[in-house]
C-alpha cells in the first residue's frame, strides 16, 4: 500500500491508498476525509475498492457529451427549424429560444440535464445562433419626439444660468 501511495502517478489512487493506510491505523472516516481534503464518500469508496481488489482502477466512464451524436443532431435541427411554440407535446407560448426552454425540452425528451449553461449555449452555437444582449432602447420611442426634446433641453441649458452656492 505504501508503495502505491508513493509511486502511482494518479493523485486519486494515491489518496485511496493513503485512506486505506490511515484506516489500518484506526482513524475514523471523518478524520481521514479531513486529512486528505476529500469527502467521507470518497474514503468509504476507497475502502470498498480495496476490499474488492480494485484500488488502482480508475474506471473512467464519463464522456464529454451526454447527448449521443444522433440526439445532438436532432436537437440542433429542432432549434434551427422550429420555434418553441411549434413543438408538439410542449405548451410553450414563446416564439424565441432561450436556454431555459432548451433545458426543459432536452430534459423531458432525452432525460438529460447538463450541469452548466455553457453546454446549452454550445448547442445554440452549433445551430448557428449567436448570443446578443437586447438593446436598451424602448420600442415605443418616437425618434421625432426625442429629437424635439433634445433640442428643447439644449436650448434651456444654454439660456439657463445656474448659481452654485455652498
The residue among 33 and 165 whose pLDDT is bigger is 33
- Three-state SS for 122? helix
Q: Judge whether 141 lies within some domain.
A: no
For 87-135, how does the pLDDT look when each residue is reduced to its tens digit (9 = 90+)?
A: 888 888 988 898 999 999 999 998 888 888 899 999 999 999 887 777 7
Three-class SS string for 53-94?
Answer: CCCCCCCCCCCCCCCCHHHHHHHHHHHHHCCHHHCCCCCCCC
In this prediction, residue 39 carries a pLDDT of 92
Chain centroid offset of residue 55 CA = 31
The count of structural domains within the chain is 2
Q: Judge whether 95 lies within some domain.
A: yes
**Where do the DSSP E strands lie in the chain?**
none
Q: Judge whether 27 lies within some domain.
A: yes
Query: pTM (2 decimals)?
Result: 0.45
Q: Are residues 37 and 82 in the same domain?
A: no
pLDDT tier at 165, thresholds 50, 70, 90:
low
Q: Which cell goes with 86?
A: 411549434
pLDDT tier at 75, thresholds 50, 70, 90:
very high
In this prediction, residue 76 carries a pLDDT of 93
Range of the domain at 15: 2-52
Q: Is the pLDDT of residue 147 over 70?
A: yes
In this prediction, residue 10 carries a pLDDT of 82
Q: Are residues 12 and 48 in the same domain?
A: yes
Q: Judge whether 134 lies within some domain.
A: no
Q: What is the mean pLDDT of residues 74-95?
A: 91
Check: CB of residue 54 under 8 Å from CB of residue 4.
Answer: no
Q: Judge whether 28 lies within some domain.
A: yes
Q: Judge whether 58 lies within some domain.
A: no
Check: CB of residue 71 under 8 Å from CB of residue 77.
Answer: no
User: Of 105, 99, 106, 101, nearest to 131 (Cα)?
Assistant: 99
In this prediction, residue 161 carries a pLDDT of 62
Measured CA to CA, the distance from residue 15 to residue 38 in angstroms comes to: 9
Q: What is the mean pLDDT of residues 55-68?
A: 64
Give the mean pLDDT of the chain.
Answer: 83
84 Cβ contact list (under 8 Å, min separation 6): 90, 92, 94, 95, 96, 97, 101, 105
In this prediction, residue 64 carries a pLDDT of 47
Q: Judge whether 144 lies within some domain.
A: no
Amino acid at each position: 500500500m505504501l508503495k502505491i501511495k508513493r509511486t502511482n502517478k494518479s493523485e486519486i489512487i494515491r489518496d485511496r491508498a493513503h485512506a486505506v493506510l490511515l484506516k489500518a491505523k484506526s482513524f475514523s472516516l471523518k478524520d481521514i476525509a479531513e486529512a486528505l481534503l476529500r469527502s467521507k464518500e470518497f474514503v468509504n469508496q476507497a475502502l470498498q475498492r480495496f476490499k474488492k481488489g480494485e484500488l488502482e482502477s480508475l474506471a473512467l466512464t464519463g464522456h464529454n457529451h451526454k447527448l449521443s451524436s444522433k440526439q445532438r443532431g436532432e436537437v440542433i435541427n429542432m432549434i434551427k427549424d422550429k420555434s418553441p411554440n411549434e413543438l408538439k407535446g410542449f405548451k410553450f407560448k414563446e416564439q424565441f429560444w432561450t436556454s431555459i426552454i432548451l433545458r426543459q425540452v432536452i430534459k423531458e425528451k432525452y432525460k438529460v440535464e447538463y450541469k452548466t449553461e455553457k453546454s446549452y449555449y454550445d448547442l445554440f452555437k452549433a445551430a448557428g445562433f449567436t448570443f446578443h444582449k437586447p438593446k436598451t432602447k424602448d420600442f415605443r420611442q418616437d425618434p421625432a419626439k426625442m429629437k424635439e426634446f433634445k433640442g428643447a433641453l439644449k436650448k434651456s441649458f444654454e439660456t439657463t444660468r445656474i448659481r452654485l452656492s455652498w
